[in-house]
Chain A
Amino acid sequence: MEFIDYYKVLELDKTATKNDIKKAYRKLARKYHPDLNPNDTAAQKKFQQINEAHEVLIDPEKRKKYDQYGKDWQHAEEFERQKAQQQQYQQQYSGGRTGGFGGAENFGGGGFEGGDFSEFFESMFGGAQGGRQRTTRFRGQDYNAELQLNLTDVYKTQKQTLTINGKNIRLTIPAGVENGQTIRIKGYGGEGMNGGPNGDLLITFAINNDTSFKREGKNLYKDVELDIFTATLGGDLMVDTFDGKVKLNVKPETQNGTTVKLKGKGFPVYKTEGQFGDLFITYKIKIPTNLSAREKELLQELKKLQENG
């Protein structure tokens, strides 16, 4: 657990006044507020740090404790205990007043979500803290998650159960979802504060192409090798599509790079039941290798015929 320099977070020096802290907080909050940086986890993290720094530095008691122990915060409780013992000793031997010793400051109580503060804060000021003045209801934080799927997985609508923060979420993944696309699941984010609504869960799909097809939106592309004889004379060719094999009729004298469109054999259109894009097949004509002497002879003959005719 690392020490957090709250002054550095708010870009202030240690002599900063309450007004300076307020100003710095407002300025940085405007820059990193999650509403101004949607889907930006780095900004959200920074915003939490700013909030935390503000929470400590704006409260004179917390700031005092923070300033007093600084980097030695891990020994804070020990110092407090020693101080208490010393005071008790002094009281006993000076016939001092009785009772009423509270020990270390207690910042406990209140209704803050533990997840809103760093481990450092929790360790120094306790897991939850009171004295929050605002009673506004806060919507919970949005959670971001990445779900890795294969292209073959998103060809059909499917259901998956994800476990997020101990909750099982049954998720319907519509066919045709795109790489990098984000879907929002309402109410499955962080819990709201002061009775505010829960945040949302944002799932971004990272789709790995595990096929020989290339995908662009709803359309698929594939290169298919075609032997020179079928390309020249025409014929049938079996090609793989996403939902099985299809027999293609290759026209005579098909050129290298010719593309044919197979209508409706592409990828499902997102959230449009029964609609599919197209599959584009590009022929890559394969020149024969390891020809026998007889084959070479026949080709030479063909060449002569071509040249003469």
Chain B
Amino acid sequence: MDDQYISILEFCNCHQLEYSFIHSLTENGLIQTIIIEEDEYIEQEQLRELERIMRLHYDLEINMQGIDAINHLLNRVSRLQDEVRHLQNRLKLYED
């Protein structure tokens, strides 16, 4: 298999996870999996996101709905931070 994809089965074995966890993530639209020749995979690019969700769920006991809400808020924070940075840089134009 192409390096671009990671087998869900291997991922679950490696992290001692139940497959139902991955299933509930896909059900809630938190990650997307791809089926190739009857085996399920995730794209390598999504690995970081999957690991982050795992930590939120197992370390902080946050359920899927909570993770979804957190994702929305973090995206919003990130956009606002970008905007602040942009505005600070613009403000500098007038301060200098």
Contacts and interface: CB of A to CB of B under 8 A. Distances in A.
Interface of A: 26, 29-30, 33, 35-36, 38, 135-137, 139, 178-181, 197, 209, 214-217, 221
A38 B74 contact: yes
Interface in B13-53: 14-16, 51-52
Interface string B44-82: 000000011001101111100000001000100010000
Given A36-B70, A136-B15, A180-B85, A214 B60 contact: no
B93 A221 contact: yes
A215 B78 CA distance: 23
B59 A178 contact: no
User: For the complex, would chain A's binding face be called helix, strand, loop or mixed by DSSP majority?
Assistant: loop
17 contacts: A30-B62, A35-B52, A35-B55, A36-B56, A36-B70, A36-B74, A38-B78, A137-B14, A139-B55, A179-B89, A179-B92, A180-B85, A181-B85, A197-B51, A209-B96, A217-B86, A217-B89
A178 B85 contact: yes
Contacts of B62: 30
Contacts of A181: 85
A33 B85 contact: no
Given A38-B74, A180-B89, A216-B90, A137 B59 contact: no
A137 to B, nearest CB: 7
Contacts of B4: none
Contacts of A214: 92-93, 96
A14 B52 CA distance: 34
A216 B61 contact: no
A139 to B, nearest CB: 6
Nearest to B89: A179
B31 to A, nearest CB: 15
Nearest to B54: A136
Nearest to B55: A35
The 5 closest A-B pairs by CB, nearest first: A180-B85, A214-B93, A30-B60, A35-B52, A35-B55
Q: Chain B contact residues (Cβ within 8 angstroms of A): what range?
A: 20 to 34
Contacts of B93: 214, 216, 221
Contacts of B55: 33, 35, 139
Given A180-B85, A180-B89, A33 B56 contact: yes
A115 B21 CA distance: 32
Nearest to B67: A35
B96 A29 contact: no
Contacts of A178: 85, 89
Contact of A35 (B15, B56, B85, B88): B56
A38 B55 CA distance: 14
A184 B81 CA distance: 16
B60 A139 contact: no
B88 A137 contact: no
B12 to A, nearest CB: 13
Nearest to B77: A38
Contacts of A33: 55-56, 59-60
A176 B69 CA distance: 34
Residue among B58, B61, B70, B89 with the most chain A CB within 10 A?
Answer: B89
A137 B15 contact: yes
B51 A139 contact: yes
A216 to B, nearest CB: 6
